Each structure stands twice: as C-alpha cells, then as structure tokens.
Amino acid sequence: MNDAVARIGLAEDDEIELGEAALDLAALDHPRVPLAPYRARLDAMAADLARDGASLRTAQDRAALLAELVAVEHGIEGDRTTYDDPANADLLRALDRRRGLPVTLAILYVSIARRVGWQADALNTPGHVLVRLGPDPAPVLLDPFNRGAIVDATGLAALLARVLGRGASPMPEHVEPLSNRAVLVRLLTNQAMRARDGGDLRRALLLQQRLTAVAPSEGTLWWERARLENALGRRAQARASLGAMLETTRDAALRRRISAALDALAGSGRE
C-alpha cells in the first residue's frame, strides 16, 4: 500500500478530499499513469464552476449549473450499457471513459462543488448514491448517474422502491450524508464485491486490504479480509486480520465470535 493511501487511513475525516483520495486509490491499479492531468482536469472544472456560478445563490440554480458542467459540457454520466464494468468504480477510468457508477460520479460532483465552497454531500441512499447540494432548510437532491437530474420526493420514493422493493418508504437514514471515509469505503466495497462475485478472490483480497488501510477501525472490513485470506489458504494472515478486528470492538458477542474463529483457524493445521 502506498503512502497516499496510508495517509487516508490516518487522516481525520474532514481532512480527506474526496476527489484526490479517489484518484490516489485508482492510481494503485495504474502505477505508470501520472495523476497530474487528472488533478488539473478537476481543477479546471472547479474553476469553470466558480466563474459561472459566482452570482448563483439557490441550491436549485447551483445544481442545474453543476449538472450542465459535468454532464453536458464534459459528457460524464452513468454507464447504463456496461454497468458492472470494474472501470466504472475507478475514477481515472471514469474520467477517461466519461462513464461511471453512482458512487464514482457522486465523488466527482461533491469534489467539484466543495472546491468552490458549496455545501455538498454524498448520501447513504441504498443501491444508488445521490448527492445533496446546499444547506438546510432547502437543499436539493441530484442524481449524478442520471446526468445530474433533480430528485424530488416522488423520485426518491421510486428509487427506493426499485432497490428495496415495493412499499418501501423513504427513511431519514436513506438521505443521511456519508462521511468522506464512508464514501471511499462504499467505492472500494463496490469493486471488491464485483471481484468476489466474479470469482477473482485474489483481486477481492487486494481490494479488501485497501479497505482496511482506508478505514482501519471498521471491524467488519477486517472480518471480510480474514474470510478471503482463509479461502486462499493464508491462515496466518487471516488470524492477524481477526486479531486486528478484535482490537477494534468492545462488543462482547462479537468478541466471542472472533475468538471462536481464531480458535478454528488455530486448529485447522499448517498453511
């Protein structure tokens, strides 16, 4: 793991700049690709937004301008044709291809908006990350995957019904802002899930290692890492991961579960 990713893990949440962090994570898979042109591209987009949005005061107007900049001028939108392509969860590739997943594009929208001092957050919307722009009491929800379209109450209910099933009602937790670290965890988890479901356990483990570097205090990430390490026959590493998880939790029931898993690994023989 490189120094940039280690710094993300050590940083306070408000010190994490989402666009920069997502570029650093993507660079792990493109070690020979310079990041400077991508950083310059984000800077240029923010400069255009600052120039054209200087006189705008309402969240509605700012959301319209942000969507115009990203989706129309730069042609960046959701990938409906090859949604499960791993490139959609890689900010470098998303910028190159001008296509991405909801979480990847949410990072782009939030990063650009924050660079000009606008309040913006990625939301904990199940299955489809939305962006909230502007402060209470009149923020606007927009959908970066759908060319920055405004999402009203009816649209939010329809989205949740598609993801959670008919009859699902919007709850406060569905539109809670995600912390910066949680956004990156969601991005990497998306990648790891696709690798795991595709049967590439080594790739899934590599991504799980990145997850535990980015969010070392999240015990469930260590559990999944240990599970993958054990599946690959790396029992000593699995025990180390469970030990790290044991250090992050004070929940008695969970500690017993971890201890039982450690005992099972200790009795499973040599690697």
Q: Contacts for 65-70 with beta carbons within 8 Å, 24 or more apart?
A: 66/109, 66/112, 66/113, 66/133, 66/142, 66/148, 67/142, 67/147, 67/148, 67/149, 68/148, 69/45, 69/112, 70/45, 70/105, 70/108, 70/109, 70/112, 70/144, 70/148
pTM above 0.85, yes or no: yes
pLDDT band at 170 (very low <50, low <70, confident <90, very high): confident
The residue-averaged pLDDT of 179-195 equals 96
Cα–Cα distance, 213 to 123 (Å, whole number): 23
pLDDT band at 204 (very low <50, low <70, confident <90, very high): very high
Structure token digits, residue 165: 């099933």
Cis? peptide before 137, omega within 30° of 0: yes
Quote the percentage of the chain above a pLDDT of 70.
Answer: 98
Cα–Cα distance, 107 to 110 (Å, whole number): 5
> What's the pLDDT at 181?
98
Best CATH choice for the domain 3-175 from the list 2.60.40, 3.10.620, 1.10.150, 1.10.10: 3.10.620
Q: Structural domain boundaries of the chain?
A: 3-175, 217-266
> What's the pLDDT at 253?
87
> What's the pLDDT at 1?
62
Cα–Cα distance, 75 to 218 (Å, whole number): 36
What is the tens place of the pLDDT at every residue in 101-139? 999 999 999 999 999 999 999 999 999 999 999 987 889
Of 119-123, 149-153, 166-170, the poorest mean pLDDT is in 166-170
CA dihedral 93, 188, 235, 6 (to 10 degrees): 90
pLDDT band at 177 (very low <50, low <70, confident <90, very high): very high
